[in-house]
Amino acid sequence: MINKNKKNFLIILISPSGGGKTAIFKKILADNTEIKYSVSYTTRKARINEINGVDYNFVSEEKFIEMKQSGDFLESALVHGYWYGTSKSYVISILKNNHIIMDIDVQGAKQIMNSEIDQITIFILPPSREVWLERLKGRGTDSDEVIQVRLKTAESEIKEIRDFQYLIINDDLENAVDNIKTIIKAEENRIQRYKNIEIYYGG
């Protein structure tokens, strides 16, 4: 009874490229149907394995700027030369019934942290710098130039790590996912997220 009266929240996962977050997202979403994924808008071109409307909403720069000017985004940022943004109306509608999990960069996360939206922030890092560099190079979908840009961005993102609440070292997928689930469970049980508790028990 009381559980139904809990407030949902936004789960922000921040990770530099190569942090291994894609696998984490897949597993969390497969295991938890009550958590929905926030599909971002981007002006980047779709990679070969990406589906429009599932991985991203791929839009033109013109359309993106129009949406940004109309105030459609909860946050937006220019990342590696392309625009990325989170739809405000989408997030608000999902939060009525579910938690929503999102994959955004440090700039975007900070914009949401300055908003009224109830959120938790989790930073994900690969197990070591060596593994991380290997993962960055090994993806095979990006040029050396793109990898260098991502590396520079990632290094500057790590400098801001202490602004976030939780850190997950992604040394083992199961372990990382379990830790994230534990964080979500604990956050669900914060007093602030129970609605009407006084009315329910207070008589």
- Binding residues for ligand 5GP, per CB under 6 A? 17, 40, 44, 75, 77, 79, 84-86, 103-105, 107-108
Q: How far is the CB of 112 from ligand 5GP (least distance, A)?
A: 9
Q: Which is nearer to ligand 5GP, 75 or 187 (CB)?
A: 75
- Which residues, at least 6 apart from 75, have a Cβ–Cβ distance to it below 8 Å? 85, 86, 104, 107, 108, 109, 111, 112, 115
**Strand, coil or helix: what is 127?**
coil
Q: How far is the CB of 117 from ligand 5GP (least distance, A)?
A: 14
**How many C-beta atoms surround the C-beta of residue 43 within 10 A?**
19
Q: Which is nearer to ligand 5GP, 103 or 187 (CB)?
A: 103
Q: How far is the CB of 1 from ligand 5GP (least distance, A)?
A: 36
Structure tokens at 81: 């030369």
Q: How far is the CB of 81 from ligand 5GP (least distance, A)?
A: 10
Q: Which is nearer to ligand 5GP, 71 or 203 (CB)?
A: 71
Q: How far is CA 131 from CA 78, 159, 170, in A?
A: 27, 19, 10
Task: Give the residue closest to ligand 5GP by C-beta.
Answer: 108
Provide the terminal-to-terminal Cα distance of the chain, rounded to the nearest Å. 15
Q: Which is nearer to ligand 5GP, 44 or 63 (CB)?
A: 44
Q: How far is the CB of 180 from ligand 5GP (least distance, A)?
A: 16
**How many C-beta atoms surround the C-beta of residue 174 within 10 A?**
8
Amino acid at 188: E
Is there a contact between 164 and 109 (Cβ–Cβ < 8 Å)? Answer: yes
Q: Which is nearer to ligand 5GP, 79 or 101 (CB)?
A: 79
